[in-house]
Amino acid sequence: MTLSRAALIAACSVVALPAFAADLYEFDPGHTEVLVSWNHLGFSTQRAEFNAASGEIYLDEKDPAKSRVDVTIDATALDTGVAEFDGHMKSEGFFDVAKFPTITFKSTKVELAGDKTAKVYGELTVKGVTKPVVLDVTLNRIAQNPIYNRYAAGFSAKTVVKRSEFGLGAYAPAVSDEVTITIDTELFKK
């Protein structure tokens, strides 16, 4: 098994408790981006970013199945680029951030698709509703970061969800029910 494949399995698998030999990696908030995009009335693709996400990955390179991924997204940090629309999206009719300030993802299993790609299964919780999702994940690189002189890993992930399943169905289907979530992150070994 290649190091890339072992790292990908380790980054995406989950168990109840981290293995003793696992290494802890934490998200670099300055290099973590969570984007959502949707079709608006057939006229355009609109995008928003969650500007605050944190999480950790326990990587066990000797036994990747004993690794775990947990991600928390700050729903109050939603940014569409238009303050008025941000308020609309954060309101009770959509994300209701006053009541549900976080979005979480916890992985449950991984199926490798190649040396650097995998399908990662997990539980996504939005607005108090938990649903299974599958992320298409790519390991970009795992190596010493030459700028920070720390061991780092980088991943890209993508999935499509139906927002109505999470209580966010206003204006569907005119505004698409399907929303694409794209995550790019760098993590540092603790």
Q: Mean pLDDT over all residues of the chain?
A: 86
pTM listed for this prediction: 0.84
3-state secondary structure (DSSP) of residue 169:
coil
Q: Where are the domains of the chain?
A: 3-189
Each residue's pLDDT tens digit, 40-83? 999 999 999 999 999 888 776 665 556 678 999 999 999 999 99
Helix (H) or strand (E) holding 51: none
Nearest to 49 by CA among 69, 70, 73: 73
* Strand segments (E) across the chain: 23-40, 44-50, 53-59, 68-74, 78-79, 102-112, 117-126, 129-145, 150-162, 178-189
Residue 64 has a pLDDT of 56
Residue % of the chain over a pLDDT of 90 = 67
Residue 17 has a pLDDT of 40
Distances (CA, A) of 174 to 2, 36, 38, 47, 171: 46, 17, 11, 16, 6
Q: Does domain 3-189 have CATH number 2.40.128.110?
A: yes
For the segment 20-46, the average pLDDT, to the nearest whole number, is 90
Residues near 44 by Cβ (< 8 Å), separated by ≥ 6?
none
